[in-house]
Structure 1
């Protein structure tokens, strides 16, 4: 059982609240989304593992068990080409859950006309393998969901 932790402060709102059909329909995988607090801060690793992909707006961490978790900071933020994000880690780094990966400011994303909502997705997982999904207020490091 993998415990996936909240990478940002905010409110767990579910993937259905993500204004992007690829995420809201679960095409990327099951999980949830966080409507982040509108304050500058760090997005952290949701699990222990290796950073397999790292972009300013998104990252994938794969645990020793082979389970990969995607954290996507906002919607359509790839269009920003890194503006408003600062990398705090490097692709290939081993990280511990809770370790800062990217610094960002959700209010700046929103001010630019984009949604700051953050999908947190269990990649290549069956929907029924994700349980105990949090709803409502979450803080960095709180359990967001469990992945069997």
Structure 2
């Protein structure tokens, strides 16, 4: 089992509320999403593992069980070309849950015309493999979002 925690502090809104059909339709996998507080902060790793993909706007950590967890910082933020994001680690690094991965400013993302909502997705999972899935409520970075069985 893998406990997946929130990479950011904010309000959980669930994947269905994400303003992007790829995420809201769970096309990349099941999970949830967090609407972050609008202040500069670090997005942290939701699990212990290895960073197998790392971009200013998104990262994937694979844990010891082979579970890949995608954290996407905002919607269509790839179009910002890294502006407003500071990557703190390197692809291939071993990271721990709660470790800062990327510094960013959700308010600046919003001012640039993008949604700062952060999908947290269990890649290549099935919806029934997740339990305790949060769909609403306030969370702090590091709070449990779901268990991947």
Unaligned 5+ segments in structure 1 are none
State the shift of 1:14 in Å: 0.1
- Equivalent position of 1:137 in the other structure: 138
- What's the CA shift for 1:133? 1.3
| Deviation for aligned residue 1:130 | 1.1
| Runs of 4+ deviating beyond 2 Å | none
Query: In the alignment, which residue of structure 1 is the partner of 2:46?
Result: 46
Q: 1:147 is matched with which residue?
A: 148
The yes-or-no answer on 1:21 pairing with 2:5 is no
Considering only aligned residues, what root-mean-square deviation do their CA atoms show, in Å? 0.5
Partner Cα distance (1:59, 1:100) in 2: 12
Unaligned residue ranges in structure 2 (runs of 5+): none
Aligned to 1:32: 32
Superposed, 1:53-132 pairs within 5 Å as: 53-132=53-132
For residues 78-119 of structure 1, the C-alpha deviation after alignment (integer angstroms, 9 at most, x for no partner) is 001100000011000000000000000000000111100000
Alpha-carbon distance in structure 1 between the residues aligned to 2:95 and 2:54: 12
* CA shift digits 1:17-76 (9 cap, x unpaired): 100000000001000000000000000000000000000000000001100000000000
1:11 correspondence with 2:3? no
User: SS where residue 3 of structure 1 aligns?
Assistant: strand
TM-score if structure 1 supplies the norm length? 0.99
Distance in 2, matches of 1:54 and 1:97, equals 16
